[in-house]
Amino acid sequence: MLRYLAVRAFRAAVTIALVVTFAFVVLRMSGDPAILIMGPEVPPEALAAFRRAWGLDQPIWVQYVRYFGAILNGDLGMSMRDNRPAIEMVAERIPATLALTVPALVLKLAVGIPLGVWAALHQGTGFDRAVMVAAVFGFAIPSFVLALVLVLVFSVDLGWLPSGGQGTVAHMILPVLTLGLGGAAALARFTRSAMLEVLGRPYIRTASAKGLPWAAVVRGHALPNAAIPTVTLVGFLVGSLIAGAVVVESVFSWPGVGRMLVVAVASRDLAIVQCILLLVAATMVTSNLVVDVLYGVLDPRLRHGARAAA
């Protein structure tokens, strides 16, 4: 088990290092930050001074090594625009993002999992079909389309809810719905198929043959098994708590991390972009790690090193 954890943790570290490198390469290759930030009409001396100040005059590999070394020391750099520590600026935005994504996650879990379980238990009925049709729609519609539809209906037509901005609970409803509905649909579909798979297993028949009431069979025998694949998707949803709101924050002009990322990319504010990417990678990787540990808890076959099979 400890070995298993160590392997996972090592992989997580490698993943983060790759993300960091990737961010570095892409951002340096796609335009000169000095020109983007200072503007094209700035005299060359000023540009050179800016480059010197930020170390952009060094060979690319020196920049990379410095950058990597700084990250290892926990220094994520200064915003080139505001000349404040990037990490501080990003941290200020996190609560706003979580204010959207956490309620949305709760919505996904509270709606998606019960719907999926219920649909599987009533496979083939009208309810099941209705859930599946809704899930396909919820899954297929891009979030900006859903956001626009919700805005059109609830803000423009009905005038019930504001179409953007921040401050009251009313402001949160549309963005949270936009975020939550798509995830709930995906989760419902996934839970349903995991559940159907488990319900067809011979051990479910054994549990019935023991005389357990059907509700006890579902609760005690089917759900623990169906939870194993479902945990993967839930882990992914948790992992996207920070990064999953980029589109929605932009549409509803919500001052979260996602919108900050869009702005920072447009203006080549390297430190901010890197800092956000690192944060996103870290949440993703951490939630993956938690999923792996949960697997071990839920599935005893993985706990002591699964034995090889065909």
Partner 1 sequence: MTAPALDLRAVARAYGGGRTLFGARPVVRAVDGVTLALPQGRTLGIVGESGSGKSTLGRLALGLETPDAGHVTAFGAPMPAPGTPAWRALRRRMQMVFQDPLGALDRRIPVADQVAEPLAIHGIGAPAERRARALDALAAVGLSAAQGGRYPHELSGGQRQRVVIARALITDPDVLVCDEPVSALDVSIQAQVVNLLIDLKAARGLAMVFISHDLRVVRQIADRVAVMYLGRIVEEGAAEAVLRDPRHPYTRALVSAAPAPGRHRRERVILSGEPPNPAARPAGCAFHPRCPVAVARCRSEAPALEPAPDGHATACHRVTPAAERAA
Partner 2 sequence: MAAPLVRIEGLTVAFDGAPAVRGVDLAVHPGEAVGIVGESGSGKSVTWLAALRLLPAKAAVAGRVLLDGRDLLALPLPEVEAVRGGRIGMIFQDPASALNPVLRIRRQLGEVLARHRGLSGAAIAAEARRLLDLVGIPDAARRLDSYPHEMSGGQNQRVMIAMAIAGQPDLLVADEPTTALDVTIQAQILDLLAALRRELGMALVLISHDLGVVAETCDRVAVMYAGRVVEMGPAEPLFDAPRHPYTRGLLDALPTLDAAERLVAIPGVVPDPRAMPPGCAFAPRCAHAAPVCLGAEPALRATLPGRWSACARPDLDLAAPPPRPPATPAPAAEAVA
- Residue 224 as a binder of partner 2 (CB under 8 A): the answer is yes
How many chain residues bind partner 2 (CB under 8 A)?
Answer: 25
CA 241 remoteness from chain centre: 5
Instruction: Pull the structure tokens for residue 95.
Output: 């609560």
Cα gap 106→110, rounded to integer Å: 6
CB-CB contact of 161 with 154 (8 Å): yes
201 is a site residue for partner 1 (CB under 8 A): yes
Query: Pick from partner 1, partner 2, none: which does 310 bind, CB < 5 to 8 A by kind?
Result: partner 1
Residue 209 touching partner 1 (CB under 8 A): no
Which of 135, 199 has the CB closer to partner 1? 199
Interacting residue with partner 1 among 57, 75, 197, 299 (CB under 8 A): 197
Q: Which of 127, 202, 241, 290 binds partner 1 (CB under 8 A)?
A: 202
Cβ proximity to partner 2: between 223 and 290 the closer is 223
Binding mask 190-209 for partner 2 (x = CB under 8 A): ----------xxxx-xxxxx
Which of the stretches 74-82, 85-93, 98-106, 219-227 binds partner 2 when contact is defined by CB under 8 A? Answer: 219-227
Give the list of residues 6+ apart from residue 28 with CB closer than 8 angstroms, or none: 60, 63
Interface map 86-105 toward partner 1 (x if CB under 8 A): --------------------
Question: Residues near 203 by Cβ (< 8 Å), separated by ≥ 6?
Answer: 221
> In the complex, what is the shortest distance from the CB of residue 305 to partner 2, in angstroms, rounded to a whole number?
11
Q: Is 200 in the site for partner 1 (CB under 8 A)?
A: yes
| Spatial contact of 38 and 56, defined as CB atoms under 8 Å apart | no
Determine the Cα–Cα distance for residues 73 and 52; give it in Å rounded to an integer.
22
Q: Among residue numbers 228 through 267, which ones bind partner 2 (CB under 8 A)?
A: 228
* 3-state DSSP assignment of residue 78: strand
74 contact choice in partner 2, partner 1, none (CB below 5 to 8 Å, kind-dependent)? none
| Site residues (CB under 8 A) for partner 1, limited to 124-183 | none
Q: What is the DSSP code string of 47-111?
A: HHHHHHHHTTTS-HHHHHHHHHHHHHTT---B-TTT-SBHHHHHHHHHHHHHHHHHHHHHHIIII
Q: How far is the CB of 292 from partner 2 (least distance, A)?
A: 16
Tell me which residue of 75, 80, 70, 84 sits closest to 34, measured CA to CA.
80
Contact between 221 and partner 2 by CB under 8 A: the answer reads yes
Burial 270-298 (b: 16+ CB within 10 A, else e): bbbbbbbbbbbbbbbbebbbebbebbbeb
- Token output for 37: 């930030």
Kindly state the tokens that stand for 295: 């697997």
Q: How far is the CB of 10 from partner 1 (least distance, A)?
A: 18
Copy the structure tokens of residue 287: 């939630």
Q: Which among 30-38, 123-131, 197-205, 211-219 is the span making contact with partner 1, rule CB under 8 A?
A: 197-205
Distances (CA, A) of 257 to 222, 254, 297: 39, 9, 33
- List binders of partner 1 among 289-308 (CB under 8 A): 296, 303-304, 307-308
* Interface ranges with partner 1 (CB under 8 A): 1-2, 197, 200-202, 296, 303-304, 307-310
* Interface ranges with partner 2 (CB under 8 A): 200-203, 205-214, 220-221, 224-225, 228, 298-301, 304, 307
